[in-house]
Structure 1
């Protein structure tokens, strides 16, 4: 089952994002190599600066998806003001 992580950065925490980015990318690369990560990228503010994240993963259930979300270095560094984890159905333009 697919799960979308809708992550909102805490205001004024761009420095935390930038400092933690290398370990965050390592984490996503590991999930990608395992086949867990489907896609990911930052949300951008009006100035084009990152202010959140969208991450979609495949997991057995909501509990497993939450464990993945809470293992992200951004989460562990306290970057996010909130993280919503939602079951998601990929309907259009799904890769074969």
Structure 2
């Protein structure tokens, strides 16, 4: 089952994001290797600077999605003001399954 993690950064925490980014990227690459990551990327503010994230993951249930979200180095660094986790279905432009 897919879940969308919609994460909003705390205001004024761009440096926290930049400092934690290498660990966050490594974390997502690990999820990708385990075939748990569908896609991910930052939301941008009016100046083109990141101010949140959207990460779509595969998990067996909401508790599994919550555990993955909590393990993200951005979450551990206290970057996020709010994280919404919603079940999600990929309908259009879904990549072919391997």
- Normalised to the residue count of structure 2, the TM-score between the two structures is 0.97
Q: Which runs of 5+ in 1 are unaligned?
A: none
Q: Aligned partners of 2:79, 2:70: CA distance in 1, in Å?
A: 12
1:59 aligns with 2:59: yes
1:94 counterpart residue number: 94
- Normalised to the residue count of structure 1, the TM-score between the two structures is 0.99
Q: Aligned partners of 1:70, 1:79: CA distance in 2, in Å?
A: 12
Q: Which runs of 5+ in 2 are unaligned?
A: none
Q: Aligned partners of 2:86, 2:74: CA distance in 1, in Å?
A: 18
State the shift of 1:8 in Å.
0.1
Q: Aligned partners of 1:73, 1:84: CA distance in 2, in Å?
A: 17
Where 2:32 maps in the other structure, the secondary structure is helix
CA RMSD of aligned residues (A): 0.3
Runs of 4+, deviation exceeding 4 Å: none
1:11 counterpart residue number: 11
State the shift of 1:57 in Å.
0.3
State the shift of 1:80 in Å.
0.1
State the shift of 1:79 in Å.
0.1
State the shift of 1:23 in Å.
0.3
State the shift of 1:76 in Å.
0.4
Q: How does 1:1-96 map to 2 (within 5 A)?
A: 1-96=1-96
